[in-house]
């Protein structure tokens, strides 16, 4: 499977299990059992730091406590509830997921990874995370935090996607999937981050990379996300500005031009065209507005 021997893997797994209580972060979705609440948290945590998700997660679930509630809401309202999280396509996709849950699963979140994976907008990581954290299904989850730990502590080299999945499954073994997966994520967030903090890391004595030295294997390993381009001045920032304006209500083309002052015309058109193409914004002769709601099939 990898260069790591079974004994080394067992030592790493034991060290993670022992360290779990001390690694736990105080996050409101940790320990949640409501599958819908877990699914919403996992979608929000994609590309947004945990500290920024706490408030919007609570507010979103107050507004949309069930898939039915989200499926029936106007998209413009959903985009407003998404404030502070960025990457607004996720809000649109989450509403599509909610619609599929209503139409295919009677408004319930399914337990099996393959059923979750078949939902629109739900990828492999999210499906496994919901199965493990909400239902206690014994599957390993590999996000960017876990992927760094696998590459550094377990293998001491960059892993392929298949190797990373196999190593994660072998490490989990018959351990409690909720507790162990969360401990791996917490370890990656607290210690084995992009710039690892090895001093004080509970895996320091068993870490393959720390023992062998050499180039950091994490940046080129599977499932490790690359650093994002700077936000300031990016299209993401301008998209956010446009949506922020439309949360107040429709805007004429002139008002939108003024709101996006500083953006040269060709790029402004490109940003607005992309929002329209993504289904987040509608354009009419009069100007722009946030998109309306999809209809729930009865």
Among 141, 201, 242, 291, binds ligand SF4 (CB under 6 A): 201
The one segment of 47-55, 90-98, 148-156, 274-282 that binds ligand SF4 by CB under 6 A:
148-156
147 is a site residue for ligand SF4 (CB under 6 A): no
User: How far is residue 253's CA from residue 223's CA, in Å, rounded to a whole number?
Assistant: 41
The candidate with the shortest Cα–Cα distance to 176, out of 234, 124, 132, is 132
Residue 89, Cβ density class (10 Å: 0-12 exposed, 13-18 middle, ≥19 buried): middle
**Rounded alpha-carbon distances, angstroms, from residue 152 to 122, 181, 183, 198, 217:** 28, 17, 16, 11, 6
Would you report the helix, strand and coil content of the chain in percent, each value rounded to 5? 55, 5, 40
CB of 141 to ligand SF4, least distance (A): 17
**Per rule CB under 6 A, count of chain residues that contact ligand SF4:** 14
Query: Which two structure tokens, joined as six digits, stand for 214?
Result: 């050499």
Triad 33, 176, 163: Cα angle to 5°: 110
Q: Is 171 in the site for ligand SF4 (CB under 6 A)?
A: no
Q: Select the residue interacting with ligand SF4 from 9, 128, 152, 223 (CB under 6 A).
A: 152
Question: Which of 210, 247, 257, 270 is close enough to bind ligand SF4 by CB under 6 A?
Answer: 210
Start-to-end C-alpha separation, the chain: 49
Considering only the stretches 101-109, 116-124, 156-164, 191-199, report the one whose residues sit in contact with ligand SF4 under the rule CB under 6 A.
191-199
Characterize the bridge pairing of strands 281-284 and 251-252.
unpaired
Question: Closest CB to ligand SF4 among 180 and 209?
Answer: 209
The three-point CA angle 192-198-203 to 5° equals 75
Q: Could you please report the per-residue DSSP string of 118-141?
A: TSTT--HHHHHHHHHHHH------
List 44, 139, 153, 189, residue binding ligand SF4 (CB under 6 A):
153
For ligand SF4, which is the closer residue by CB, 139 or 203? 203
Distance of closest approach, residue 254 Cβ to ligand SF4, in angstroms: 53
Query: What gap in Å lies between CA 283 and CA 107, rounded to an integer?
Result: 32
> What is the Cα–Cα distance from 211 to 102, expressed in whole angstroms?
51
Q: Token digits for 119?
A: 């939902």
Q: Is 114 a catalytic residue?
A: no
Q: Count the helices and strands in the chain (H runs, E runs).
A: 15, 3
- Minimum distance from CB of 47 to ligand SF4 (Å)? 22
Helix H or strand E encompassing 189 = helix 177-190
Of 58-66, 92-100, 203-211, 275-283, the window that binds ligand SF4 (rule: CB under 6 A) is: 203-211
198 binds ligand SF4 (CB under 6 A): yes
Among 115-123, 124-132, 159-167, 194-202, which window interacts with ligand SF4 (CB under 6 A)? 194-202
Minimal distance, residue 134 CB to ligand SF4, in Å: 27
Active site residues: 42
Contacts with ligand SF4, residue ranges (CB under 6 A): 149, 152-153, 191-192, 196-198, 201, 203-204, 207, 209-210
């Amino acid at each position: 499977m990898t260069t790591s021997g079974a004994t080394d893997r067992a030592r790493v797994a034991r060290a993670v299990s022992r360290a779990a209580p001390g690694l736990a972060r105080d996050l409101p979705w940790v320990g949640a059992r409501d599958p819908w609440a877990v699914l919403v948290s996992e979608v929000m945590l994609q590309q947004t730091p945990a500290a920024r998700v706490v408030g919007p997660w609570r507010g979103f679930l107050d507004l949309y406590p069930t898939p039915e509630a989200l499926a029936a809401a106007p998209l413009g309202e959903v985009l407003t509830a998404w404030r502070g999280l960025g990457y607004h396509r996720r809000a649109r996709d989450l509403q599509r997921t909610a619609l599929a849950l209503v139409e295919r699963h009677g408004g319930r979140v399914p337990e099996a990874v393959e059923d979750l994976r078949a939902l629109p907008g739900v990828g492999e990581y999210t499906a496994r995370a919901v199965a493990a954290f909400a239902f206690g299904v014994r599957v390993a989850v590999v996000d960017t935090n876990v992927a760094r730990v696998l590459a550094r502590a377990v293998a001491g080299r960059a892993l392929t996607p298949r190797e990373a999945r196999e190593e994660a499954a072998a490490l989990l073994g018959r351990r409690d999937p909720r507790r162990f997966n969360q401990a791996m994520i917490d370890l990656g967030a607290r210690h084995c981050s992009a710039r690892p903090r090895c001093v004080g890391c509970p895996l320091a004595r068993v870490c393959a990379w720390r023992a062998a030295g050499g180039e950091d294997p994490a940046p080129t390993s599977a499932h490790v996300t690359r650093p994002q381009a700077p936000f300031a001045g990016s299209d993401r920032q301008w998209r956010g500005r446009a949506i922020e304006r439309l949360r107040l209500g429709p805007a004429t083309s002139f008002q939108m031009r003024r709101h996006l002052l500083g953006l040269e015309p060709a790029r402004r058109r490109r940003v607005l065209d992309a929002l329209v193409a993504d289904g987040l914004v509608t354009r009419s002769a009069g100007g722009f507005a946030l998109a309306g709601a999809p209809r729930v099939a009865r």
